[in-house]
Amino acid sequence: MNKTIALTLTLCSALLVAPLALASDRAEYGWEMIEQGAMVVDVRTPGEFDDGHLSGAVNYPVTELDRHIQNLDKDTPLVLYCRSGVRSGAAYQYLLSKGFTNLHNAGGFEEMKNAK
């Protein structure tokens, strides 16, 4: 019984730590892309953007991406971020469906700030 509990705790710990490692990796890769010239797109609301954003980022809220898509070049690398990575994930999927291929969901704003 103790081995089962220990194994369960180990698996639970791994599941909790794995997303953190992935979040760190995706933020670091986002910075690599930015340093190589990628366009930075903050898909949060204008209010969230006004409260703080990455230097050089443009604010194209995910709910308004269809209005801003003409401002994006399908060949330009894009780094997307939001508060947690959920909205940037949705933006990633939307842009992918519109033919964009050089995209990266860098996750959340705090992750990005802490990875720099």
Percentage of the chain lying above the pLDDT 90 cut? 78
pLDDT band at 24 (very low <50, low <70, confident <90, very high): confident
Confidence of residue 36 (pLDDT cuts 50, 70, 90): very high
Asked which of 4-13, 49-58, 92-101 is least confident by mean pLDDT, the reply is 4-13
Q: Which class in CATH covers the domain with range 22-115?
A: alpha beta
Q: Which of 23, 43, 78, 82 is catalytic?
A: 82
Indicate whether 5 pLDDT > 60: no
Could you tell me the pLDDT band of residue 77, with boundaries at 50, 70 and 90?
very high
Reported in sequence order, the residue ranges of 13-98 that DSSP labels E, i.e. its strands, are: 39-42, 58-59, 78-82
Report yes or no: 44 and 7 within 8 Å, Cβ to Cβ. Answer: no
82 an active-site residue? yes
Please enumerate in sequence order all residues whose Cβ is within 8 A of that of 58, keeping only pairs 6 or more positions apart, or say none: 39, 40, 41, 42, 71
